[in-house]
Structure 1
């Protein structure tokens, strides 16, 4: 079947229609050959408009069945798709068309075989409402896509109507209140570049092609989190289209319940966000240091880092990487980011807490934008296959650090790549209370991201499951931007789940929106 356009003659053939740095982590260091390398949603640009139209558990998109319908509805016929395409401005790509095989792709190549019912490239807010109504009429779920980086392939789910928001990527700075309006399709690098030219910034992750919307909706951890909070903490307002087709603006005084959920509740739960406004902060030069340690010192490095990160100046950020390099051996390093000129002093205070002599050190100074390019490995990132998961720790005791070390050693014995990446949840992240936003991890020390690049997905999932078992009660949950299949929603929202579930039932009782996690 070809794609459909409202601006050209229709030629239909075939039949059958079907529906938050390792790789791009929030703090990927540009080091170690064994380390594999940020939505909930993708990279790349919109396709060209040729011949196209002007309980609760995380569910694996790769094997998801068609969404459950909630009324006596029928799947769209070819003619109904054609009629719908004539009502919207952007392209609507169907299986069998050349554009579809490109526009259905997301960052993680493991979901390349997924078959959404259609991919609609959205160019205006009004068309989101039209898509909501069409989906309701035909029992389809809507899968929003910003950057396309969901760890469970949520924005390429089988049988869904994917709304590719990437053309809605406008950015506009308002000097009067130092805020920036960002379209939901904008990527982290695009926002950083735009704001850096004006001497401003917002705290984000580092993967350049991650979408700002998906990152924000899940919280948004990054190297500036200790100084300026989560990306979600800088959100002042958002426009979104609700499942019933209404367009609303949510902030602290209007639709405050929705605004609460948008800050850490994950994407695709209450509505489809079309634009966001953030409070910015001054962008300054950054000092970056890398400390490499003996592989046998992983536990001491993690516990010393944990001691330091609790009380370090908020301008100082550091994360630990423990990487499998084969034969049961480890590569252990710390990546640090601070104000330009402070990198050596920051590293010295951290080394004093760690108490291990590094085998190598590296100190560099960058402008704000050059630091973003360095940390992100450039302005783009290649699509890749990977498997990842997470744990959240209230503290990093010797027992917890030993469990992390043992998990990565086990992976190292297999000869396959795998990493544990510890990022801090201290500093400004802790300022709001745990119930102030949907992001629950406000009084905790660190997130641990488990990351395995490449194929061999089943083995990687087994390894991550084993890592969870090893940590046991040391882990209190997971970070929703590092979503895993088969995990309960309680694991990501803790005490905030009940409120989030009530809001989901209020605004999306038919579960029209697909996020990869049933709330």
Structure 2
């Protein structure tokens, strides 16, 4: 992702204002596009554009079309980050079913207006559409149905709190992000790094099938057997590139007992703690997931938060080994055993809230607020040889945080080209976050991004999409970029869903 990291860090016992969207959050060569794909390319002989007919579209929808002059538009257009409040899309379609989505895509095709899907609204770029565009808000399509065989079919508008609560009721779990208001759609399509990644894999690794409306307006069901190339692309190829997904079907796991923990370290110990942490996670058991947060300052500070699939008794020796690897005694150490649902609420800053409260306040009935921030990412492709450089980079940068989310274990045992998510051999994603939207924040975040790139590699996580990222196609997709481009051209040859960083432009 991409998470509500401020809530995440507060839940872990810190009152700092660190973070962002969703944790949501390598190697090999691209394979050829499979000859078994059943789709045929849509004609690129597109008729001349006609003016958008909003009255016609309104009449076609079972949901609601909201225009700038309508009551509720000011709320309907809002994304998670107030940075994008100046965006004024031409219309927001609050869709109710796949047919509504098809009608929206048909309108975009006919009138050549930009179109973008919105699941949770946490995208780092807000909308991919300018003021003339159509936002397809999937928020009403949020049902979660769990079958006796453990598969769960989830509407593309469901937020993670919806997902976690429904799965917990059925005794099941899904590896996903730590922010309760993130949408399942964007998280899954970009890969899905989260607190159970090392044990169960990325969110996209649990995907069995999906329903998607492609750029030609067709509703398709994709899986390993049906439209296999498109199914491959949807597992890490980024949201909005190939169509608008309306529902996902996942294979879930039995909900485990979890133990959450935090280690707070003294100021000035970043280089030592980072060195020990990166050494430790390379051989840590799958049951242990960790994230290391480094906060800028004089000196920088750090803490490690995580989740263990098991009891406190099993966690204690692992934490002892981690502390030993850092050579630094923490100033604070604690751990708490929790159920799956309670652990997810703890990570999301919702430990004291009901499930209903742990939902958005800006377009729902919950208590969770929006957050202003500027953010980007890198990928820690290998251990740093000189962790002191990282510490130096964060010196004096008050208000900035870099969060390193580990992605080894089960996620690393999938090949870099088996799905579109390429960062399989990496140690962690690096989320660079500043709790400000000022121009100076953008400059600072980009500076750290570029300096980190020279130290840890130039990869980046597409769920932290960044319009100013150099060589973004290779950064997001690595060896998979060429195959993704072919899939994008096949399923949306007319560029109906095109945006600044579409895979067809990589």
Range into which the TM-score falls when normalised by the shorter chain: 0.7 to 0.9
Q: Distance in 2 between matches of 1:253 and 1:39?
A: 33
Taking a change above 3 Å as real, the CA distance of residues 330 and 34 of structure 1, as seen in their structure-2 partners, is farther
SS in 2 for 1:130: helix
SS in 1 for 2:259: strand
Q: Is the 8 A contact 1:440 1:494 kept in 2?
A: yes
Could you tell me which of 179, 184, 189 is aligned with 1:217?
189
- Give, in angstroms, the shift of residue 511 of structure 1: 1.6
Structure 2: 5+ residue runs without aligned partners?
A: 25-44, 351-357, 360-367
Could you tell me which of 16, 26, 49 is aligned with 1:73?
49
- Give, in angstroms, the shift of residue 367 of structure 1: 1.4
The aligned runs of 1:274-423 (5 Å cut-off) are 274-324=246-296, 326=297, 328-338=298-308, 339-341=310-312, 342-378=314-350, 379-380=358-359, 381-399=368-386, 401-412=387-398, 417-423=399-405
Aligned twin of 1:121: 94
Aligned twin of 1:131: 104
Once the two structures are superposed, what CA deviation does each residue of 1:425-446 show, in whole Å capped at 9, x if it has no partner? Answer: 2101111110000000011111
TM-score (norm 2): 0.87
Q: Is the 8 A contact 1:170 1:186 kept in 2?
A: yes
Once the two structures are superposed, what CA deviation does each residue of 1:393-420 show, in whole Å capped at 9, x if it has no partner? Answer: 2222242x333322221412xxxx1101
Could you tell me which of 239, 244, 247 is aligned with 2:216?
244
Residue 242 (structure 2) pairs with residue 270 (structure 1): yes
TM-score (norm 1): 0.85
Aligned twin of 2:418: 436
- Give, in angstroms, the shift of residue 329 of structure 1: 2.8
Once the two structures are superposed, what CA deviation does each residue of 1:75-112 show, in whole Å capped at 9, x if it has no partner? Answer: 32xxx211221121111111122211110001011001
Q: Is the 8 A contact 1:440 1:496 kept in 2?
A: yes
Aligned twin of 1:448: 430
Taking a change above 3 Å as real, the CA distance of residues 505 and 39 of structure 1, as seen in their structure-2 partners, is farther
Once the two structures are superposed, what CA deviation does each residue of 1:229-265 show, in whole Å capped at 9, x if it has no partner? Answer: 0000000000111111111111011100000000000
- Give, in angstroms, the shift of residue 369 of structure 1: 0.9
Aligned twin of 2:478: 494
Could you tell me which of 112, 130, 134 is aligned with 2:85?
112
Once the two structures are superposed, what CA deviation does each residue of 1:301-330 show, in whole Å capped at 9, x if it has no partner? Answer: 111111110111100111111112x4x232
- More off after superposition, 150-159 vs 24-33: 24-33
Taking a change above 3 Å as real, the CA distance of residues 346 and 27 of structure 1, as seen in their structure-2 partners, is farther
How large is the Cα RMSD of the aligned pairs? Answer: 2.1
SS in 1 for 2:103: helix
Q: Is the 8 A contact 2:378 2:429 kept in 1?
A: yes
- More off after superposition, 507-516 vs 479-488: 507-516
Q: Distance in 2 between matches of 1:157 and 1:31?
A: 40
Once the two structures are superposed, what CA deviation does each residue of 1:193-239 show, in whole Å capped at 9, x if it has no partner? Answer: 11111111000001001011110000000110000000000000001
Could you tell me which of 475, 488, 501 is aligned with 1:504?
488
Taking a change above 3 Å as real, the CA distance of residues 323 and 473 of structure 1, as seen in their structure-2 partners, is closer
Residue 467 (structure 2) pairs with residue 485 (structure 1): yes
Taking a change above 3 Å as real, the CA distance of residues 312 and 40 of structure 1, as seen in their structure-2 partners, is closer
Aligned twin of 2:34: none
Q: Is the 8 A contact 1:236 1:251 kept in 2?
A: yes
- Give, in angstroms, the shift of residue 491 of structure 1: 1.2
Q: Is the 8 A contact 1:154 1:515 kept in 2?
A: no
Aligned twin of 1:55: none
Q: Is the 8 A contact 2:190 2:236 kept in 1?
A: yes
- Give, in angstroms, the shift of residue 486 of structure 1: 1.8
Residue 468 (structure 2) pairs with residue 468 (structure 1): no
Q: Distance in 1 between matches of 2:7 and 2:246?
A: 23
Could you tell me which of 7, 13, 21 is aligned with 1:31?
13
Q: Is the 8 A contact 1:180 1:280 kept in 2?
A: yes
SS in 2 for 1:204: coil
Q: Distance in 2 between matches of 1:39 and 1:264?
A: 17
Aligned twin of 2:36: none
- Give, in angstroms, the shift of residue 502 of structure 1: 0.9
Taking a change above 3 Å as real, the CA distance of residues 377 and 70 of structure 1, as seen in their structure-2 partners, is farther
